[in-house]
Amino acid sequence: MTATNRGARVVPAVYGRTPVAPDPAEDVARAAELRATHSPEALLELAARHAWGSGGEDARMRRLAWRAMAKRFGNGVRIGRATLASHIETFEFGDGVFIGDQAILQGRFDGRFVIGDYVWIGPQAFLDARDLVIEDYVGWGPGARVLGSQHSGVPADIPTIQTDLIIEPVRIGAWVDIGVNAVIMPGVTVGKGAIVGAGAVVTKDVAPFSIVAGVPARFVRWREGCGPETQA
């Protein structure tokens, strides 16, 4: 531990450095059994029955139900309390994924949502997961949101909500850190190792290893030891 100015402390990171053990074989088998014997609606109901529990059995049942529904489900995944999701059958989870309490993951029946290894998604996050890829070792701050779709607004003589929905892919590179309450807009790519400041609204692509902040988000500086040469 190293002391810094103004009373701050620096301590070693824990999440992302702890090895993930394989899930128990009986849990994997039980999830396969649930997938074979339960409808998607029944699996959602099972997850809902255990959504608010803090105990180990509730957490286990949430994992089992989500594993049974998901397209791919890695080891050591943790699903927080009161987490809501739609179209989990399109989700692909890596190892060591953490989903915080009350997060909302909005999929689509023909969509794609990929979460890499050691991704940490904070409480009350909202992810429009219709065409979303989050690569390995990403930190997603509490309350941060990503939007992957918007209405065209055309024609103007009908309500906007009745106009066509445009779904645009969003890509979050490995090692990215998304600040608390930041917003990532449709079609944006955030490059590897970039940092998005708290409350930023990201409307265009973010260069790898850069730091952006503000509304709309603008380039602030390169991360220490990085620069334009890191873009190659």
Rounded Cα distance, 179 and 145, in Å: 10
* CATH number of domain containing 134: 2.160.10.10
Q: What is the mean pLDDT of residues 45-67?
A: 96
User: Does a structural domain hold residue 10?
Assistant: no
Assigned token pair, 171: 């890509």
Tell me the pLDDT tens digit for each residue of 105-121.
999 999 999 999 999 99
Q: What is the mean pLDDT of the chain?
A: 95
Tell me what pLDDT residue 7 has: 85
User: Does a structural domain hold residue 31?
Assistant: yes
Tell me the pLDDT tens digit for each residue of 146-197.
999 999 999 999 999 999 999 999 999 999 999 999 999 999 999 999 999 9
Q: Are residues 203 and 142 in the same domain?
A: yes
Is the CB of residue 182 less than 8 Å from the CB of residue 165?
A: no
Rounded Cα distance, 57 and 47, in Å: 12
User: Does a structural domain hold residue 13?
Assistant: no
Phi, psi of 45, rounded to the nearest 5 degrees = -65, -40
Picking from 179, 177, 203, the residue whose alpha carbon sits closest to that of residue 189 is 203
User: Does a structural domain hold residue 12?
Assistant: no
**Residue at token pair 């009908």:** 158
Domain end, chosen from 51, 69, 87, is at 69
Pairing of strands 139-140, 120-121: parallel
User: Does a structural domain hold residue 207?
Assistant: yes
Tell me what pLDDT residue 1 has: 35
Please give the tally of structural domains in the chain: 2
Q: Are residues 58 and 171 in the same domain?
A: no
Domain end, chosen from 32, 48, 69, is at 69
Q: Are residues 64 and 81 in the same domain?
A: no
Q: Are residues 168 and 122 in the same domain?
A: yes
Q: Are residues 86 and 60 in the same domain?
A: no
Tell me what pLDDT residue 106 has: 97
Residue 2 pLDDT exceeds 50: no
Q: Which of 32-36, 205-209, 226-230 has the lowest mean pLDDT?
A: 226-230
Tell me what pLDDT residue 3 has: 47
User: Does a structural domain hold residue 96?
Assistant: yes
Q: What is the pTM of this model?
A: 0.93
Assigned token pair, 203: 């409307």
Rounded Cα distance, 70 and 1, in Å: 40
**87 an active-site residue?**
no
Query: What is the span of the domain harbouring residue 134?
Result: 76-220
Q: Are residues 83 and 63 in the same domain?
A: no
